[in-house]
């Protein structure tokens, strides 16, 4: 163990020495809720406690000297009159660049047996988003190597994008492709409420040793309590903020923001909040912008990096207008819709081009790229309109030249846009290929159209 590691451990132990201690006792216990008395004015929203000196909890409500506490685990073995010790706020993190290549829990603690060095500066898990007037605008277009994204829903540095899909449509696979291929200095990945077996698969199969070396993973699996799942999202964002402050371009990936919202709903219901839209409590819709606005371009000062963020949204019953999807779509800078119908047709990534939007357009594309993209979108939209008519024989080839060309292009594009998980194509090559397909289908672009965009 080197000197830096020993110093880091001593510093971490010193921070844990409390200036003073406040104690209370368990008054009542039922389900997830535990009521505590005796903490007095020290009982504040968000403060953490230790119950019976072994189970960590968080104060989620205070009413006339009685604090309602939820566990980061279960209350198994806790009894009335057990001692409750206040242990401070929501647990500041002390990130360090040596955390790259590590897998951490929701509190920033290592999930392996190796020592984790602390950095010198604290970062609160629940930080305030940067002031809007201090931020830079989004930066240059990022190469993802994914044809349909680079052409139709481009991502710029500092942009926040949502991937919306039902279960089993390829959401996690698309995230893995982006993690491997997006040009970023470091990657922070928050797996919030994911299946436990997928963690090792994601590390070994999707990231690989090279990807893992520049990544930090924060994991809270679906079997863990709602407080822990919510904490994982905050911790991942705080670590991304630290790396941004080191002047790095950070790719923050969170799978999924829906499970963060579900965790907040469980916490709100346990604290006595009234359910509103589809059972979600008011704090869910307050916490979502507080979380999502923390990513994005850095402050307009020297030495500040950016956080490009990609969040997945698991839509309930393939309903893309359900409350969480609708709220998140309004906060982010674009959305990619994965359609089950397209996946069932065998095209992956199963991105619905007509319904997917990047708010980085139009400035993200050059003039010629905008012209190619616009013509391709119009052709695909017309083909979608005519699809049912063609299927039942109400439209036959030769009725309209533009429609015939659009149908031919859609068939060619469907083959071209299919992509394996390890395949990659540059943005320039993608647009050159699309230009060729438009010409082959009978939709050539004139030099004037290409230069005007």
Q: Does an H or E element contain 334, and which?
A: strand 334-337
- Which tokens belong to 333? 């800078």
CB 424 within 8 A of CB 145: yes
**Residue 121 scores a pLDDT above 70:** yes
pLDDT band at 34 (very low <50, low <70, confident <90, very high): very high
- Report the alpha-carbon distance of residue 151 to residue 368 in Å, rounded: 12
Mean pLDDT taken over the chain:
89
Q: What is the SS3 assignment for 349-403?
A: CCECCCCCEECCCCCCCCHHHHHHHHHHHHHHHHHHHHHHHHHCCCCCCCCCHHH
86-107: average pLDDT: 86
Q: Predicted confidence band at 370 (pLDDT cuts at 50, 70, 90)?
A: very high
Do 313 and 325 meet the contact criterion of CB atoms below 8 Å apart? yes
Decide: residue 119, CB within 10 A, 0-12 exposed, 13-18 middle, 19+ buried.
Answer: middle
**Position 20 confidence tier, pLDDT thresholds 50, 70, 90:** low
| pLDDT value, residue 393 | 82
Q: How would you classify the pairing of strands 186-194 and 306-314?
A: unpaired
Q: What is the pTM of this model?
A: 0.90
Q: Say if residues 375 and 367 touch (Cβ distance below 8 Å).
A: no
Closest alpha carbon to 108 in 254, 267, 247, 228? 228
The tokens describing 342, both together, are: 């397209």
In whole angstroms, what is the distance from residue 408 CA to residue 113 CA?
58
pLDDT tens track for 221-246: 998 999 999 999 999 999 999 999 99
Q: For residues 6 and 214, what is the distance between their CA atoms, to the nearest angstrom?
A: 24
DSSP state of 135: B
- How many Å apart are CA 115 and CA 95, to the nearest integer? 13
Report which of 159, 140, 135, 157 is spatially closest to residue 299, judged by C-alpha positions.
135
Residue with token string 């291929």: 181
What pLDDT is attached to residue 10?
61
Find residue 218's DSSP bridge partners. 104, 190
Nearest to 176 by CA among 145, 155, 154, 152: 145
Beta bridge partners of 48: 58, 88
Helix (H, G, I), strand (E, B) or coil at 323: helix
Q: What is the pLDDT of residues 301-315, one digit of tens each?
A: 888 999 999 999 998
> What average pLDDT score do residues 78-101 get?
87
Is the Cβ–Cβ distance between 207 and 214 less than 8 Å?
no
Residue 324 has pLDDT above 90, yes or no: yes
């Amino acid at each position: 163990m080197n000197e830096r590691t020993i110093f880091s451990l001593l510093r971490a132990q010193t921070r844990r020495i409390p200036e003073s201690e406040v104690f209370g006792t368990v008054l009542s216990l039922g389900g997830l809720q535990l009521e505590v008395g005796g903490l007095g004015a020290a009982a504040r929203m968000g403060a953490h406690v230790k119950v019976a000196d072994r189970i960590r909890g968080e104060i989620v409500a205070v009413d006339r000297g009685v604090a309602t506490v939820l566990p980061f685990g279960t209350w198994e073995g806790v009894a009335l009159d057990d001692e409750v010790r206040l242990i401070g706020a929501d647990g500041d993190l002390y990130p360090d660049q040596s955390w790259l290549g590590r897998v951490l829990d929701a509190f920033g603690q290592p999930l392996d047996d190796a020592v984790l060095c602390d950095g010198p500066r604290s970062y609160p898990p629940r930080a305030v988003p940067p002031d809007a007037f201090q931020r830079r605008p989004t930066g240059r277009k990022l190469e993802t190597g994914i044809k349909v994204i680079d052409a139709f829903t481009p991502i710029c540095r500092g942009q926040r994008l949502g991937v919306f899909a039902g279960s089993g449509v390829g959401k996690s696979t698309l995230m893995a492709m982006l993690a491997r291929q997006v040009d970023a200095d470091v990657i922070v990945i928050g797996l919030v409420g994911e299946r436990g077996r997928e963690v090792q698969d994601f590390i070994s199969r999707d990231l690989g040793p090279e990807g893992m070396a520049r990544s930090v993973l924060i994991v809270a699996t679906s079997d863990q309590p709602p407080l822990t799942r919510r904490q994982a999202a905050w911790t991942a964002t705080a670590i991304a903020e630290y790396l941004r402050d080191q002047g790095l371009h950070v790719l923050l990936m969170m799978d999924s923001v829906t499970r963060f919202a579900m965790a907040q709903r469980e916490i709100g219901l346990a604290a006595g909040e009234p359910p509103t839209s589809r059972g979600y409590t008011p704090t869910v819709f307050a916490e979502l912008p507080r979380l999502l606005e923390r990513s994005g371009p850095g402050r307009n000062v020297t030495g500040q990096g950016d956080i490009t963020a990609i969040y997945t949204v698991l839509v309930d019953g393939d309903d893309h207008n359900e409350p969480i999807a609708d709220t998140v779509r309004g906060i982010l800078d674009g959305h990619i819709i994965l359609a089950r119908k397209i996946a069932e047709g065998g095209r992956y990534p199963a991105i619905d081009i007509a319904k997917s939007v990047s708010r980085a357009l139009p400035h993200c594309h050059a003039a010629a790229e905008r012209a190619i993209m616009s013509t391709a979108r119009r052709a695909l939209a017309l083909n979608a309109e005519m699809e049912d008519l063609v299927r039942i024989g109400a439209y036959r080839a030769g009725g309209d030249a533009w429609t015939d060309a659009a149908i031919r292009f859609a068939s060619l594009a469907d083959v071209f846009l299919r992509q394996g998980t390890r395949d990659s194509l540059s943005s320039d090559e993608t647009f050159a290929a699309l230009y060729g397909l438009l010409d082959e289908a009978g939709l050539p672009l004139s030099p004037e159209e290409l230069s005007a965009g």
